[in-house]
Amino acid sequence: MNEMVKNSIDARKNAIYNTYEITDDKLKKEIDELFDRIYEFGKDIKDQSEFETKFNSSELNQEYINLFTKVAQSSPMVQDLKNQNNVVSDVGNMVLDEAEMELDSLTHPMRHQAYQAANDKIRDIPVVGDLLTVKQHVDLAKSLTGQYNKDEEE
């Protein structure tokens, strides 16, 4: 199993156990059974991003949310506030990182289109377009002759 995927699953499990004092053996068994299925779900996934995407759209995610709610309603919270803050912070940072990656992947095609449209407009300007083409050819020639690397070293 990918280490980042395992860490992601462990963080979810730790969020339950570090936040609530679970004394009911039946509830502990239910948690363990759910996480056995989540580990099985994540065992062949290659990276955390893919896992998060697939997990968030799976029934396991809803089961996790339902179980977390059940635990919250039936178990007292752990009194160690420092520990709770760390758990909340870790899960919050994971969610924030995932949201940033998701936003970047969703906006990438639009940003590329905007860049391409601006670049096309600039190249349509007669003299500027010719200068950019010349610069592109000069850069290519420099890279082929090794001159580009010498210029960067100086």
pLDDT of res. 25: 92
Please give the Cα distance from 68 to 93 (Å, whole number): 19
Per residue in 20-37, pLDDT tens? 888 899 999 999 999 999
Tell me if 19 is assigned to some domain: yes
Number of domains making up the chain = 1
Q: Is residue 121 in some structural domain?
A: no
Is 92 inside any structural domain? Answer: no
Judged by average pLDDT, the poorest of 2-16, 35-49, 69-83 is 69-83
Nearest by Cα to 124 from 115, 135, 132:
132
pLDDT in tens, 116-144: 888 788 778 878 777 878 888 888 888 88
| The one-letter amino acid at 152 | E
Domain of residue 13: give its range: 3-79
Burial of 19 (0-12, 13-18, 19+ CB in 10 A): buried
CA distance 143 to 150: 10
pTM of the model: 0.51
